[in-house]
């Protein structure tokens, strides 16, 4: 069950604004490891006491492992509000 909330999503394509199918050379570059796909973002929310919080995340695609995702070495932060 999700709390009563709203969200905003922003989508950017690695295919430079082209269709979601991408270009063959981009696919080949991802598969060969010469191009890495990253997903990063920031989540802002209120806890049950209505205190605002946020965290950032970063993952990168690992096509050599059946397209699984791994944490980036950086890019992860959490607010320091302990309330």
Tokens of 37: 């796909």
d(CA 29, CA 45): 36
State mean pLDDT over 69-79: 90
Torsion angle in degrees (nearest 10) through CA of 50, 56, 61, 65 = -70
Is residue 2's pLDDT more than 60? Answer: no
In tens, the pLDDT along 13-63 reads 544 444 455 567 778 888 888 888 888 999 999 999 999 999 999 999 888
pLDDT at 27: 80
pLDDT at 58: 93
Expressed in percent and rounded to 5, the helix, strand and coil fractions of the chain are 15, 30, 55
State mean pLDDT over 4-12: 55
pLDDT at 5: 54
In which residue are the tokens 């950032």 written? Answer: 56
């Amino acid at each position: 069950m999700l709390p009563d909330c709203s969200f905003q999503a922003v989508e950017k394509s690695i295919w430079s604004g082209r269709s979601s199918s991408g270009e063959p050379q981009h696919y080949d570059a991802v598969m060969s490891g010469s191009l890495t796909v990253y997903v990063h973002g920031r989540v802002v929310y209120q806890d049950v006491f209505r205190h605002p919080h946020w965290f950032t995340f970063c993952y990168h695609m690992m096509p050599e492992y059946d397209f699984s995702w791994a944490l980036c070495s950086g890019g992860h932060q959490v607010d320091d509000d302990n309330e």
